[in-house]
A and B are shown apart, each in its own frame.
Chain A
Amino acid sequence: MYRVGVDIGGTFTDLLMLGQDGRTVIGKTLTTSSDPSLAVETALRQALGEGVTKPCEPGELIHGTTLVTNVIIERKGALTALLTTAGFRDVLEIGREKRYELYDLNLEPPQPLVPRYLRFDVPERILADGSVLQPLDEAYVQRLVTELRDKGIKAIGVCYLHSYRNPEHERRTAEIISKVAPDIRVSLSSDVVSEIREFPRTSTTVANVYVQELVANYLTKLQQRLDSLAFVGSFFVMLSSGGIATAETSARFPVRLLESGPAAGALAAAHAGVRSGHPNLLSFDMGGTTAKLCVVEKGQPLKTHEFEVDRVYRFKRGSGLPIKIPVIDMIEIGAGGGSIAHSDSLGLLKVGPKSAGVEPGPACYGYGGEEPTVTDADLVLGYLDAKFFLGGKMRLDVEAAHRALDRLAKPLGLTTEQVAWGIHQIVNENMANAARVHLGERGKDPRHMPLFAFGGAGPVHGYRVAEVLHLPALISPLGAGVGSTFGLLVAPLAFDFVRSAYSRLDSLDWGFANALLQEMARQGRMVLENSGLAASEISYRRSADMRYAGQGHEVSVPIPNRILDERDIPPLTAAFEQIYRELYARAGPDVPLEVINWRVVASGPQPEMHFRPTPARTGETAKKGSRLVYFPEYGSFVETPVYDRYVLRSGMSLRGPAIIEERESSLIIGARGQARVDEYLNVIVKFADA
């Protein structure tokens, strides 16, 4: 059996195929945004022709896609109605009642996916303990749904207060809808995210049903294309959590597909880290417009349950629609190769957040861009080779880059080279500053984590970012430019469940908690067995979100896989206190604990990846030439050796300053760098003492 990962990005659709014998095929084709499944078919057809598979050999396709993000950002989803507890139809619009930016008087709040005229108060009320204060007015629901059906509404989200505690009214509402209007898609908040706090729960539920039809149609279409290729085997979709799910599960909970591409990138970094003996690292994926950082610990990327989509201010927390899904915890920084440099009203050099994008692109692309970008600076500094960009497929215009930088240099009183190095340095600093805050918020000390750099610009900037952060090393994989697709092939089948049941730990109803945990595990087993796993292959990870009574933020505490009772209070307390100390570097107060949520993750085994790197070309010297490159250690341009990435063999070592070039990226090694190639052809750069 062969396995193949396909990741649809904004510009390119990347493919990685892994044959039974460990041989690989890498594919890259332009994304077809009007029908993204077409590019998948094209890439797959090409790869199948490469001869690593036999005809009729069963395959396994794992797919990452930005479809859900795009549908939400472009507001292309179904016309959706929302049913809420009477008195609460504005939950989506009232939100957190907080401005996300202090000084912008003209800020715009994020626009809810459901307009106010489609948000309806339904007479019913359940209290925090699950008891019914007011029964559901079924006749009202029937009348409302009939009208919605007759007016062409295609999707309904239902979110009643405290449904995480008692979902009865939501379920009854779904029954009525399916009777009155069987064609309308319905998402219940108690199914999508059974978690306390009505605003994020409503927002997530609505997003789920809003994108559902398009996602279902897309997955069906993709399946048809696979059928037409005579693809035999199974087809899975990458989730934001780093697990994979069947197309059927994905179509039920499409909101969990958000961020599936970047999640794959972090997984790839984690996997490569484990293999090269670095289970803890900082994954650094830098592309044309943004960079993403993620902490990997013990071989696993950190996870969170808070996410936002469609931010009005792209990188500002609070400016997007909140989505409660398990998601790999990444920080996105608005800095990439296309970021534009400018001088501000204080006469300082600034980089970003404006980006030249693909059109017009950096000045050196020659597509009409005139503003100086990070890529232009990298070119002028000698980090990029004008003749070997994308392996020589694209020629860069050094003169245009110089002109763009000159215009900026003059008012700042700097030379072109100074401004180029300034841009390079400032963008690295921005990255490092964001990383410090991200790490600090999570109580992580990066000094033992190497930086794992990939993406088109990651290896160009990784050395300096690692240096500024005092990280011990820099690791860059072979094929850094298409790094994300590796992650698709190492993800296990997995699905996350959550149920809120707010209680003090010392007065917890253990029977109820056990029932919730068992119910979630049962659902997990069902989902995974339906995906083709045997019961014996499924493992369960349980956790409880706990906090000191009255605190605002919860801490996730692992709990054992068995029936719990009051004898578990001391070990749970101890586990909570230990995690709390790790996070906050101090003991907490003498305050009782409370449990907010119970969680279960059901997962299958992590696939073994028998990846056999294509052997290095032999008989050639690794050094393919040299050129003048700027290194701040020398304060000037120095003649620097350039190595061919495809000739580097395991065990080789070299010293900075040096450049290692591959088709999609260049790895820059500064003067203190001592690089060695490991058996998986990762380049590992350590810093000699200055």
Chain B
Amino acid sequence: MPEMLIDSVILEVIWNRLLSVANEQQDALLRTAFSTIVRESEDLACGVFDRQGRMIAQSLSGTPGHINSMATSMRHFLVAYPQERLAPGDVLITNDPWMTAGQINDITVTTPIFKNGRMVALFANTCHAADIGGRILSAEAREVYEEGLRLPIMKLFDCGKPNTVLLEIVKANVRQPDEVLGDFHAQTACNDAGGRALLEMMEEFGLESLDAVAEEIVSRSEAAVRNHIRELPDGEYHSETWSDGFEEPIVIRCCCRMAGDEISIDFAGSSPQSSHGINVVLNYTHAYASFAVKAAVYPEVPHNEGSFRPVHVTAPPGSILNAIDPAPVASRHAMGHFIPSAIFAALAEALPGRLVAPGADPIWLSVWRGNNPSFTISIFQVGGMGARPTKDGINAIGFPSGVAGVPAEIIESLSPLVMRRRQLRPDSGGAGMWRGGLGQLTEFTKRAEGRWSVSCIIDRTKFPAPGLFGGKPGARGEFILDTGARPNPKEQVDLQLHQVVHLNTPGGGGYGDSFARDPERVRQDVIAGYITPEAARDCYGVIVRFTSREGQLVRLPDQWVIDEAATAELRRATLRPTGE
């Protein structure tokens, strides 16, 4: 037990206060940000750092992508502007994807805070800008230069004076200058608010410096994480995850090494970086890897410098998960969202009973454009979550991302699109002792004359979500036109009048032997229509019969019965599947 510098009550109070300050910062940004993605998915982060640039508290952001990418950025900020070159009223900014969150739209603003002329802390936040010039969010660019205006680490304010040169350049390079500059202002203001609250708190507790508090936070968190990891079995565990890729499939190879109280995660052997904008910078890889390890091993330990230390994440430079500047990176989530499943799949054996089977993973994005009237609308969709060691996977829910869906009524009010269907996709959850979550069946058409097109960034149409421990894979995703054509899942498709587009999202993988699933659960799934009686028979070896007259619209649970004898016979006779 390290010697206590501060008693645990005061530490708890101060620590909570720091978290509260970060959350207040976050809420201010959430309310004022203009980019839809920020509001709907809480695609932002706020944090408090000590003088050395160690993150000591972070807001509860909604997506894992920023969990420590902002923390990493602080090191770069302090290299560019060491403490002695910072003064009260200075504000720093950058959107360099390799220094921060892996996408040129993600802008990080940092403010040093001074007490009695001495720097005591830094506040930072990362926020998805409505626009940063270049191409509108897509995977189409071949170099990061096409994706927008890159801002190296520089001063946004110098001793309280705005950097008008920078602001003029940004203004001339973006489509919505008022909103983008407004967001710069909000990002600066929320850091100031955080700084004020921090100074008040230091006053209240008579603190001249945060160093001792920071030391306690970092060392206690690190010790707690190490304690958790030490309980895990040492060893090396591997997995292989396949993505549809852009033109050809991409593989993510993951090796998790647990030794003593540390975990190393390496992605050597993964595909090389792509010529399209689905590349991931190491920071973002690190962010999703940290998310996965925290969820799996230490969900209750807060994220800060200390909790990152025992987890090491590496990927070969030039590979898909560690792309080299100037690779295009705008749609990095398309690959990044596979990382947690890749880690879970590797660690599943080492951590029995704790991890989730792979699910639909990357969120589906479709961008619809057309005229008469002219419109552009981006729609996020999700599939099923993988099955869990003691539970089925959740139907139609984003994992690992946290983006909320858009209601059909809003889609149809904002555009001439008509959503003809949005429902759960029967038989799409991978069979298992625990069933994978169901994907969705969705259909789109357009109500007026005029040209229209869709371009998608969707995945798992070629490689389904695999099951764990003998569980079956979930259903593949489908992108089908009413002509029966199945276009490339990542290219723009021009559509005809009255054409219907089917986007059927993937199901999650199953967990454990499906023939060991409790027949009553299988019957419940048939009653709900999650699975068909045919799938109950073929995938689970359970015969569920409808005992009433056919052709009824209303089928109540007591009308469905298990044919016990036939089930026992079938389960005995069928060779147990060994998984994929």
Residues of chain A touching chain B, judged by Cβ–Cβ distance below 8 Å, are 81, 86-91, 93-99, 102-109, 115-118, 120, 127-128, 133, 143-144, 147-148, 151, 153, 161-162, 196-199, 343-350, 412-414, 418-419, 421-422, 425-426, 429-430, 433, 436-437, 440-441, 443, 502, 550-553, 583-586, 589-591
B556 and A151 form a contact (CB under 8 A): yes
Q: Closest CB of chain B to A196's CB: distance in Å?
A: 5
Q: Closest CB of chain B to A12's CB: distance in Å?
A: 32
Q: Closest CB of chain A to B364's CB: distance in Å?
A: 11
B185 contacts which of A95, A117, A148, A586 (Cβ < 8 Å)?
A: A586
B12 and A350 form a contact (CB under 8 A): yes
- CB-CB under 8 A from A120, the residues of chain B are 553-554
Known interface pairs A96-B405, A99-B402, A429-B17. Does A589 touch B553 (Cβ–Cβ under 8 Å)?
no
Greatest chain B CB density within 10 A among A99, A147, A161, A344 is at: A99
A349 and B405 form a contact (CB under 8 A): no
A346 and B423 form a contact (CB under 8 A): no
Return the chain B residue nearest A162 by Cβ: B409
Stretch at the interface among B44-52, B140-148, B207-215, B388-396: B388-396
Question: How far apart are the CA atoms of A418 and B418 in the complex, in Å?
Answer: 64
- CB-CB under 8 A from B60, the residues of chain A are 102
Return the chain A residue nearest B414 by Cβ: A550
> Residue B134 at the A interface, CB < 8 A?
no
> Residue B186 at the A interface, CB < 8 A?
yes
A346 and B412 form a contact (CB under 8 A): no
- CB-CB under 8 A from B421, the residues of chain A are 86-88
- CB-CB under 8 A from B176, the residues of chain A are 589
Question: How far apart are the CA atoms of A148 and B552 in the complex, in Å?
Answer: 10
Question: How far apart are the CA atoms of A93 and B397 in the complex, in Å?
Answer: 10
> Residue B254 at the A interface, CB < 8 A?
no
Question: How far apart are the CA atoms of A344 and B11 in the complex, in Å?
Answer: 13
Q: Give 5 CB contacts A-B under 8 Å.
A: A88-B423, A98-B403, A117-B527, A144-B554, A429-B17
Stretch at the interface among B119-127, B293-301, B571-579: B293-301
A97 and B17 form a contact (CB under 8 A): no
B552 and A346 form a contact (CB under 8 A): no
Return the chain B residue nearest A422 by Cβ: B9
Q: Closest CB of chain B to A37's CB: distance in Å?
A: 33
B31 and A93 form a contact (CB under 8 A): no
- CB-CB under 8 A from B388, the residues of chain A are 105-106
Chain B residues 321-370 with CB under 8 Å of chain A are 354-356
Chain B residues 407-440 with CB under 8 Å of chain A are 407-410, 412-414, 418-424, 440
A-B CB contacts (within 8 Å), total count:
218
Known interface pairs A127-B412, A586-B32. Does A147 touch B554 (Cβ–Cβ under 8 Å)?
yes
Contact with A along B13-56 (1 / 0, CB 8 A): 10111011001100110011010100110000000000000000
Question: How far apart are the CA atoms of A161 and B422 in the complex, in Å?
Answer: 12
Return the chain B residue nearest A131 by Cβ: B447
Q: Closest CB of chain B to A106's CB: distance in Å?
A: 6
Q: Closest CB of chain B to A236's CB: distance in Å?
A: 35
Question: How far apart are the CA atoms of A310 and B60 in the complex, in Å?
Answer: 23
Chain B residues 288-314 with CB under 8 Å of chain A are 291, 294-296, 299-301
- CB-CB under 8 A from B24, the residues of chain A are 436-437, 440
Known interface pairs A109-B394, A345-B300. Does A199 touch B407 (Cβ–Cβ under 8 Å)?
yes
> Residue B529 at the A interface, CB < 8 A?
yes
B62 contacts which of A102, A349, A441 (Cβ < 8 Å)?
A: A102
A89 and B413 form a contact (CB under 8 A): no
> Residue B179 at the A interface, CB < 8 A?
yes
B27 and A99 form a contact (CB under 8 A): no
Q: Closest CB of chain B to A501's CB: distance in Å?
A: 10
Contact with A along B67-84 (1 / 0, CB 8 A): 000000000000000000
B9 and A425 form a contact (CB under 8 A): yes
Question: How far apart are the CA atoms of A553 and B36 in the complex, in Å?
Answer: 10
A105 and B355 form a contact (CB under 8 A): yes
Stretch at the interface among B98-106, B157-165, B219-227, B240-248: B219-227
Given A107-B394, A349-B8, A441-B27, 9 additional A-B pairs, CB 8 A: A87-B422, A98-B403, A105-B295, A162-B412, A196-B413, A348-B8, A348-B220, A433-B17, A553-B39
> Residue B404 at the A interface, CB < 8 A?
yes
B423 and A418 form a contact (CB under 8 A): no
A586 and B405 form a contact (CB under 8 A): no
B409 and A412 form a contact (CB under 8 A): no
Q: Closest CB of chain A to B417's CB: distance in Å?
A: 10
Return the chain A residue nearest B61 by Cβ: A102
Residues of chain B touching chain A, judged by Cβ–Cβ distance below 8 Å, are 1, 4, 7-9, 11-13, 15-17, 19-20, 23-24, 27-28, 31-32, 34, 36, 39-40, 60, 62, 64, 176, 178-179, 182, 185-186, 189, 220-221, 223-224, 227-228, 291, 294-296, 299-301, 354-356, 381-382, 388, 390-391, 394-399, 402-405, 407-410, 412-414, 418-424, 440, 443, 447, 527-530, 552-557
Q: Closest CB of chain A to B107's CB: distance in Å?
A: 17
Question: How far apart are the CA atoms of A586 and B34 in the complex, in Å?
Answer: 13
B552 contacts which of A86, A95, A147 (Cβ < 8 Å)?
A: A147
B557 and A133 form a contact (CB under 8 A): no
- CB-CB under 8 A from A95, the residues of chain B are 396
Question: How far apart are the CA atoms of A221 and B438 in the complex, in Å?
Answer: 45
Known interface pairs A109-B397, A346-B224, A551-B39. Does A589 touch B405 (Cβ–Cβ under 8 Å)?
no
- CB-CB under 8 A from B19, the residues of chain A are 433
B423 and A87 form a contact (CB under 8 A): yes
Question: How far apart are the CA atoms of A452 and B255 in the complex, in Å?
Answer: 57
Question: How far apart are the CA atoms of A98 and B407 in the complex, in Å?
Answer: 13
A590 and B16 form a contact (CB under 8 A): no
Return the chain B residue nearest A350 by Cβ: B12
- CB-CB under 8 A from A590, the residues of chain B are 178
B422 and A348 form a contact (CB under 8 A): no
A98 and B224 form a contact (CB under 8 A): no
Q: Closest CB of chain B to A423's CB: distance in Å?
A: 9
- CB-CB under 8 A from A161, the residues of chain B are 408-409, 412
B424 and A440 form a contact (CB under 8 A): no
Return the chain B residue nearest A104 by Cβ: B299
B395 and A103 form a contact (CB under 8 A): no
A144 and B178 form a contact (CB under 8 A): no
Question: How far apart are the CA atoms of A585 and B24 in the complex, in Å?
Answer: 14
List of 4 A-B pairs having minimum Cβ-Cβ separation, nearest first: A422-B9, A87-B421, A433-B20, A97-B405
Q: Closest CB of chain B to A415's CB: distance in Å?
A: 11
Q: Closest CB of chain B to A135's CB: distance in Å?
A: 16
Known interface pairs A98-B402, A106-B391, A433-B17. Does A198 touch B408 (Cβ–Cβ under 8 Å)?
yes
Greatest chain A CB density within 10 A among B31, B178, B418, B419 is at: B31
Question: How far apart are the CA atoms of A95 and B447 in the complex, in Å?
Answer: 25
Greatest chain B CB density within 10 A among A88, A94, A153, A553 is at: A94
Question: How far apart are the CA atoms of A550 and B413 in the complex, in Å?
Answer: 11
Known interface pairs A162-B409, A440-B28, A586-B182. Does A90 touch B424 (Cβ–Cβ under 8 Å)?
yes
Q: Closest CB of chain B to A331's CB: distance in Å?
A: 12
A437 contacts which of B23, B403, B407, B552 (Cβ < 8 Å)?
A: B23
- CB-CB under 8 A from A107, the residues of chain B are 394
B404 contacts which of A86, A97, A151, A433 (Cβ < 8 Å)?
A: A97
Question: How far apart are the CA atoms of A102 and B288 in the complex, in Å?
Answer: 12
B300 and A437 form a contact (CB under 8 A): no
Question: How far apart are the CA atoms of A157 and B356 in the complex, in Å?
Answer: 36
Known interface pairs A117-B556, A430-B16. Does A128 touch B8 (Cβ–Cβ under 8 Å)?
no
Question: How far apart are the CA atoms of A147 and B559 in the complex, in Å?
Answer: 14
B408 and A349 form a contact (CB under 8 A): no
- CB-CB under 8 A from A418, the residues of chain B are 7, 9
A127 and B36 form a contact (CB under 8 A): no
A97 and B528 form a contact (CB under 8 A): no
- CB-CB under 8 A from B418, the residues of chain A are 127, 133
Question: How far apart are the CA atoms of A371 and B121 in the complex, in Å?
Answer: 38
- CB-CB under 8 A from A437, the residues of chain B are 20, 23-24, 27
A88 and B12 form a contact (CB under 8 A): no
Q: Closest CB of chain B to A511's CB: distance in Å?
A: 20
Return the chain A residue nearest B14 by Cβ: A429
Q: Closest CB of chain B to A582's CB: distance in Å?
A: 12
B556 and A550 form a contact (CB under 8 A): no
